[in-house]
Amino acid sequence: MSKINRETQLRLGEQRLREWGLPADATAAALRPVVGRDPAADLAVAARLGAHFDAASVEVLQALNAGSADKLVHKEVKRSLYRLAQRGVAVPSAAAPTPPAVLLSPVLEGYLSAVDGHGDQLVWLIKPHAGGGLAHLFAVTNDPEGLREVNLFETTRKAVRASREELLRKHELRMVDADWRYCDFVIDRAFHWAAARGRPGGDYPGMRAKLFKAPVTTMQPLILAHLDATAIRGNPQLLADSAQLLEEMEMRTWFFAPATLKPYLDEAQRIRDSPLLLNQSQQQERFLALIARAIEEIFGGTPQVSWVRRLEEMAYFFHATERREAAERALAAALALESSVHGGRDIPLCEQLVRTCFFAFLQMEEQREEEEARGSLVLTPQQAAREMQQRRRS
């Protein structure tokens, strides 16, 4: 291939990397998940790593060389490895073990949606056939319940593109590119969660075997390859601003069902109807203590780790859709919750979620009672007590 063609491919590859949220200074760890996704992008990765003088670059370059069938990529890898060796970076011989080529197959693609308020997430795996057409594995996972649904069918690139556009147009549900190995890990993990509960949502191992034979790779959250967790922890303003995440479109479903808050709403009702005729200040004090307990219990205990994972997933989704500030805030909330010994307390996002839902349901209940009272001639003791309190305050 000519030099002009190489430069053209490099420009195209750089464009791909920018579209995937990988800036020019992206580390080798950040670049590795996209290896094998696109030949032009592989060329750009190989060229970039020649200027990253560390052992991680060598590892990724050798893995790229083993998994790619593109001659231009092989030449670029060789050129970059030579540059690294000249700068004193140890480059093992070609006989050194490399990851199996199947793990870097350029024909596998992964896609993820945001996580909704119930913990549901849409996950896709796509594998083109040599003779045309695509195998499309569609899964709906839930954290922590497990795999809800999985299906494997034949389709076309045009149909996949149309499906993504329809999801966005009709349901405001966007699918973002993700490392296919991570998508595989997420679905497999969900399958085992559901199987342990006796409610498997489908035969994922059987469908998976029709796409590839490689073992499942256990992976860390994708966002950790793009954001520095230590730097996020060191910026307290990100956590302080985390409640602003509720302004993001994908967070509109993040609210609690009445059943989740029912024990606390029932207790709030008992406070309001207390025969002790609590004054407004006393009621307010008890309400605040009740809400603090709800924040701690809802985001603590067994569900705590699930909330951490959901926030990490949202952090990656925001990163993939070029909302870095939102990604940093979501990761800050996840890290704070992960280390918390009292659930969601002192985490503004968690506190705002509980308070908003709590007072919304409380207000709806008060409106319902007022409507019932207007249609009744009987005054309950609780209503009489509240009216007496209002007259005393007036």
Residue 13 in this model has a pLDDT that exceeds 60: yes
Q: What pLDDT sits at residue 3? A: 45
User: Are 111 and 126 a contacting pair, CB within 8 Å?
Assistant: yes
8 A C-beta contact, residue 349 and residue 243:
yes
Whether the pLDDT of residue 106 is over 60: the answer is no
pLDDT at 87 over 90: no
Its pTM stands at 0.69
For 365-391, what is the mean pLDDT?
57
For residue 174, pLDDT beyond 90: yes
Mean pLDDT taken over the chain: 86
Distance, C-alpha 330 to centroid of its chain: 9
Q: Which residue has the higher pLDDT, 71 or 193?
A: 193
SS3 (DSSP) at 136: strand
Q: At 152, which amino acid appears?
A: L
- Distance between CA atoms of residues 199 and 205, nearest Å: 15
State the pLDDT at residue 276: 63
> Which class for 391: exposed (0-12), middle (13-18), buried (19 or more C-beta within 10 A)?
exposed
Q: What does the pLDDT read at residue 372?
A: 64
Q: What is the pLDDT of residue 371?
A: 67
DSSP of 357-373, one letter per residue?
HHHHHHHHHHHHHHHHH
The fraction of the chain above a pLDDT of 70, given in percent, is 87
60: nearest Cα among 37, 33, 40: 33
Name the nearest CA neighbour of 263 among 337, 354, 350, 352.
Answer: 354
pLDDT tier at 151 (50, 70, 90 boundaries)? very high
The more confidently predicted of residues 192 and 62 is 192
At 94 the pLDDT is 53
The distance from CA 260 to its chain's CA centroid, rounded to whole angstroms, is: 22
Q: Which of 186-190, 232-236, 362-366 has the lowest mean pLDDT?
A: 362-366
Beta bridge partners of 141: 121, 147
Residues 6+ apart with CB under 8 A from 88: 53
Please compute the mean of the pLDDT values over residues 342-368 and round it to a whole number: 88
Is the distance from CB of 204 to CB of 211 less than 8 angstroms?
Answer: no
| Averaged pLDDT, 138-153 | 97
Locate tokens 């990163």: which residue? 319
The number of C-alpha atoms within 13 Å of 94 and in the hemisphere containing its C-beta is 6
Question: Does the pLDDT of residue 289 top 90, yes or no?
Answer: yes
Are β-strands 176-178 and 146-155 bridged in parallel, bridged antiparallel, or unpaired?
Answer: unpaired
Q: Could you check whether the bond before residue 144 is cis, i.e. omega within 30 degrees of 0?
A: yes
- 7 within 8 A of 35, measured Cβ to Cβ: no
Q: Which of 56-60, 151-155, 282-286 has the highest mean pLDDT?
A: 151-155
Q: What pLDDT is stored for residue 62 in this prediction?
A: 86
Residue keyed to tokens 């029912």: 262
Percentage of the chain lying above the pLDDT 90 cut: 54
Q: Which of 7-11, 174-178, 197-201, 288-292 has the lowest mean pLDDT?
A: 7-11
Q: What is the pLDDT of residue 102?
A: 38
Interacting residues of 51 by C-beta distance below 8 A, sequence separation 6+ = 83
pLDDT at 335 (0 to 100): 97
Mean of pLDDT values over 358-381: 67
Dihedral in degrees, nearest 10, Cα atoms 194, 127, 327, 302: 10
Helix (H/G/I), strand (E/B), else coil: 213: coil
For the ranges 60-74, 164-178, 206-220, 246-260, the lowest mean pLDDT is seen at: 60-74
Q: Find all residues with CB under 8 Å of 67, minimum gap 6, and list them.
A: 35, 36, 99, 101, 103, 104, 105, 106
- Look at residue 133 and tell me whether its pLDDT is greater than 60: yes
* 81 confidence band (pLDDT: 50, 70, 90): confident
Residue-level pLDDT at 33: 79
d(Cα 258, Cα 267) in Å, to the nearest integer? Answer: 13
Chain Cα centroid distance, residue 201: 21
